[in-house]
């Protein structure tokens, strides 16, 4: 299989690898687009008096660009045909008060037969962008949200999602904003950024949490994208629930002690403080809930666990009576002295016959932003890919390389880029039928030249490093989550 994929990549490499320099040209660029962007310059040293999210690889970019004639280094697989696109936080006006609170901006590269056709970056045209607010003027909700966390493809729609509020539909042709999407008026709560597609049915399972009741609501959309089921999940407070998990028969929620602080929220939208309106509140307890896939809130069963926090789960699956859940676990988050810490991999088990819980640490490597082969979402699986964090760096949450983990054995291997190069979250693109047989795509920021590459890795041999890369003459800021839209 490796030889076959390498051969397919080499078919496209001859012409691509000889491309040098490249130039930027306009491809349906909207008013205000800058064409012919030049490479950036290396960043200045980290300034601890400023927010880390406004400098270095996190720093926002100021312009939308459309670039073609993109040079390629190495050998891109000739089978890559589709759109790789990733969302992130990029304030359009002024400084954002937190990494999580900038305006949504997507960065995409379109491929045809292994050839990069264009790169575009576009703000999601939310009211905050259109009105030039440079921040929030009220607690976000509905169409008034920054839609800055993730992006997904389902039911023929390309949707960006934020922490709260409705998603926004974008055109996959040019990344322009179609508008807020409320599932034909049926979505009356928020939609958070980590929906799950059941590979057996094509159904989209997702949830939204609120600052006021209902604090948590579960939803299902059918394979065509129509919302067909909603059910409130009773919880006692507005907790920050960023992600959840499914198996082939279960939904798993984690209700952990990061609570919305109303007073801090008022101060944030009035500009009185830049603090996130969430507080570490271990007295509220921590618990995991399991309910039937497609079920109702009355069917959920909870198990208490030690206080901790999880932004991202990797995957979940059934092992007999056990629900097995792999997560990136933090000791705490949003404390008085620390905003975001680093997470390490843990395997949780819930015995659904007794609701007994076990927690197995799976190493102490600091990593998060997990990715899997989404064809095995909710099923037993082996492969996971993560972004490592460089804890020795001067800048907090400095991204490093990509680490593969074998979730059967616990074995790991990593691509650690050259000094000054920082990889973002990967997206898996299938090549063959077996789990993990495909490619990993990610943006990698090269601080040495102040610009980024779109890097392609062999998902089965991450440690070998990139098989090829698209050289961009612009910088793609560190962001959050992406997707692949097949041609």
Per the domain annotation, does 371 fall within a domain? no
Query: Is the domain of 163 the same as that of 301?
Result: no
- Round to whole Å and give the CA distance between 266 and 81: 46
What pLDDT is stored for residue 31 in this prediction? Answer: 34
Per the domain annotation, does 56 fall within a domain? yes
Domain boundary among 344, 364, 384: 364
Report DSSP letters for 383-438, one per residue.
EEEEEEE-TTSSSTT-EEEEEEEETTT--EEEE-PSTTEEE---EEEE-SSSTT-E
Give pLDDT tens digits for 28-47: 333 333 333 345 677 788 99
Query: Is the domain of 8 the same as that of 157?
Result: yes
What pLDDT is stored for residue 17 in this prediction? Answer: 35
Per the domain annotation, does 178 fall within a domain? no
Per the domain annotation, does 386 fall within a domain? no
User: How many angstroms separate the Cα of 246 from the Cα of each of 165, 349, 380, 454?
Assistant: 22, 14, 12, 30
* β-pairing verdict for 301-305 and 309-319: unpaired
Query: Is the domain of 25 the same as that of 150?
Result: yes
Q: Write out the residue range of the structural domain in which residue 358 sits.
A: 194-205+221-364
pLDDT at 430 over 80: yes
- Round to whole Å and give the CA distance between 36 and 357: 56
Domain boundary among 364, 379, 397: 364
Q: Residues 217-245: what's their mean pLDDT?
A: 97
Per the domain annotation, does 395 fall within a domain? no
What percentage of the chain carries pLDDT values higher than 90? 82
pLDDT at 21 over 80: no
Q: Which residues contact 179 (CB under 8 A, 6 or more apart)?
A: 168, 169
Query: Is the domain of 231 the same as that of 346?
Result: yes
Give pLDDT tens digits for 338-382: 888 889 999 999 999 999 999 999 999 999 999 999 999 999 999
Give pLDDT tens digits for 243-252: 999 999 999 9
Place of tokens 């609701």: 355
- Round to whole Å and give the CA distance between 383 and 372: 6
* Contact indicator for 102, 60 with CB cutoff of 8 Å: yes
Q: Which of 218, 362, 201, 397 lies closest to 291 in space, CA to CA? A: 218
pLDDT at 7 over 60: no
Query: Is the domain of 132 the same as that of 200?
Result: no
Buried b vs exposed e over 77-97: b needs ≥16 C-beta within 10 Å? bbbbbbbbbbbbbbbbeeebb
Q: Which pLDDT band holds residue 261 (cuts at 50, 70, 90)? A: confident
pLDDT at 305 over 80: yes
Query: Is the domain of 461 the same as that of 347?
Result: no
User: Total domain count for the chain?
Assistant: 2
Q: Which residues contact 198 (CB under 8 A, 6 or more apart)?
A: 205, 246, 248, 293, 377, 378
What pLDDT is stored for residue 441 in this prediction? Answer: 98
Q: Residues 57-83: what's their mean pLDDT?
A: 96
Q: Which pLDDT band holds residue 12 (cuts at 50, 70, 90)? A: very low
Query: Is the domain of 140 the same as that of 227?
Result: no
Chain mean pLDDT for the chain = 90
What percentage of the chain carries pLDDT values higher than 70? 88
Q: Residues 58-80: what's their mean pLDDT?
A: 96
pLDDT at 134 over 80: no
Query: Is the domain of 55 the same as that of 123?
Result: yes
pTM for this structure? 0.90
pLDDT at 26 over 60: no
What pLDDT is stored for residue 268 in this prediction? Answer: 58
| E-strand stretches of 293-391 | 301-305, 309-319, 322-330, 344-351, 356-361, 367-371, 383-389
Per the domain annotation, does 394 fall within a domain? no
Per the domain annotation, does 370 fall within a domain? no
Q: Residues 63-76: what's their mean pLDDT?
A: 96
């Amino acid at each position: 299989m490796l030889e076959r994929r390498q051969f397919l990549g080499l078919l496209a490499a001859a012409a691509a690898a000889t491309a040098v320099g490249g130039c930027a040209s306009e491809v349906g660029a909207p008013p205000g687009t800058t064409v012919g962007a030049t490479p950036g310059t290396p960043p200045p040293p980290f300034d601890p008096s400023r927010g880390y999210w406004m400098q270095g690889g996190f720093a926002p970019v100021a312009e939308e660009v459309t670039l073609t004639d993109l040079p390629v280094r190495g050998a891109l697989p000739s089978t890559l045909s589709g759109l790789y696109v990733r969302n992130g936080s990029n304030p359009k006006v002024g400084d954002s008060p937190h990494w999580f609170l900038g305006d949504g901006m997507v960065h995409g590269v379109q491929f045809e037969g292994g050839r990069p056709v264009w790169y575009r970056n576009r703000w999601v045209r939310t009211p905050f962008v259109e009105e030039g607010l440079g921040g929030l003027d009220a607690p976000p909700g509905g169409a008034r949200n920054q839609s800055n966390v993730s992006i997904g493809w389902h039911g023929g729609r390309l949707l960006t999602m934020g922490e709260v509020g409705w998603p926004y539909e974008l055109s996959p042709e040019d990344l322009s904003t179609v508008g807020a999407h409320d599932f034909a008026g049926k979505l009356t709560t928020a939609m958070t950024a980590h929906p799950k597609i059941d590979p057996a049915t094509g159904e989209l399972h997702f949830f939204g949490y609120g600052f006021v009741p209902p604090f948590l609501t579960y939803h299902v959309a059918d394979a065509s994208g129509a919302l067909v089921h909603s059910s409130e999940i009773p919880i006692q407070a507005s907790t920050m629930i960023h992600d959840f998990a499914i198996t082939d028969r279960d939904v798993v929620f984690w209700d952990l002690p990061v609570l919305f602080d109303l007073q801090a929220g008022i101060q944030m939208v009035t500009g009185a403080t830049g603090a996130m309106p969430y507080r570490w509140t271990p007295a509220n307890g921590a618990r995991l809930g399991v309910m039937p896939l497609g079920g109702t809130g009355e069917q959920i069963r909870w198990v208490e666990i030690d206080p901790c926090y999880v932004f991202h789960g990797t995957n979940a699956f059934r092992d007999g009576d056990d629900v097995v859940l792999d997560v990136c676990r933090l000791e705490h988050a949003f404390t008085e002295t620390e905003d975001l810490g680093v997470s390490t991999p843990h395997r949780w088990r819930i015995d659904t016959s007794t609701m007994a819980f076990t927690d197995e640490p799976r190493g102490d490597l600091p990593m998060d932003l997990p990715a899997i082969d989404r064809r095995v979402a909710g099923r037993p699986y082996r492969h996971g890919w993560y972004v490592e964090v460089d804890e020795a760096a001067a800048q907090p949450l400095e991204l490093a390389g990509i680490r593969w983990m074998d979730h059967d054995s616990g074995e790991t291997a990593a691509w650690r880029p050259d000094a000054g190069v920082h990889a973002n979250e990967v997206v898996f693109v299938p090549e063959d039928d077996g789990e993990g047989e495909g490619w990993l795509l990610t943006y990698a920021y090269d601080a040495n030249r102040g610009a980024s590459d779109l890097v392609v890795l062999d998902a089965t041999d991450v440690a070998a490093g990139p098989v090829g890369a698209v050289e961009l003459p612009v910088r793609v800021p560190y962001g959050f989550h992406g997707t692949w839209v097949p041609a």
